[in-house]
């Protein structure tokens, strides 16, 4: 069965869940520029999946999936920094990194399936 809407993609669902978790973990952060950047990057993952899906061509969709991967990498980089700055404990960062890495693997797998 072909996927008819982006909401049916498991990677989009996991990306949305990931953004919600990022929002919850940084809700009390007073470093507003840092907080704004990581929140925007986390939302960008699922938004790029959605936008690319509705372009209706594989090359366009793949291009947006790569942008989603890049946003995910940005979040991971900021997660490492958040631990170093003392914004999050290492255990939480490791859990979030695991989620991020799973999303990256799924995005790369989706790209490979489309080539």
The string of pLDDT tens digits covering residues 24-48 is: 999 999 999 999 999 999 999 999 9
pTM of the model: 0.94
Interval 54-82: pLDDT, tens:
998 999 999 999 999 999 999 999 999 99
Has residue 6 been placed in a domain?
no
| 4: Cβ contacts below 8 Å, ≥ 6 apart | none
Q: What CATH number corresponds to the domain at position 52?
A: 1.20.1440.60
Has residue 26 been placed in a domain?
no
Which H/E stretch holds residue 72? Answer: helix 58-84
Cβ atoms of 50 and 12 within 8 Å: the answer is: yes
| Total domain count, the chain | 1
Domain membership of residue 93 as a residue range: 32-114
Has residue 100 been placed in a domain?
yes
Which residue from 113, 114, 41 is spatially nearest to 77, judged by alpha carbons?
Answer: 41
Long-range own/partner contacts, residues 91-94 (CB < 8 A, 24 or more apart): 92/25
């Amino acid at each position: 069965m072909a996927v008819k809407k982006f909401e049916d993609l498991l990677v989009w669902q996991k990306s949305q869940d990931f953004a919600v978790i990022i929002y919850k973990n940084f809700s009390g952060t007073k470093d507003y520029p840092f907080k704004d950047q990581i929140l925007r990057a986390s939302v960008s993952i699922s938004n790029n999946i959605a936008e690319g899906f509705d372009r209706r061509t594989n090359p366009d969709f793949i291009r947006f999936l790569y942008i989603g991967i890049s946003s995910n990498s940005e979040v991971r980089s900021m997660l490492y920094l958040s631990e170093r700055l003392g914004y999050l404990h290492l255990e939480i960062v490791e859990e979030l990194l695991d989620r991020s890495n799973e999303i990256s693997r799924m995005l790369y797998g989706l790209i490979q399936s489309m080539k």
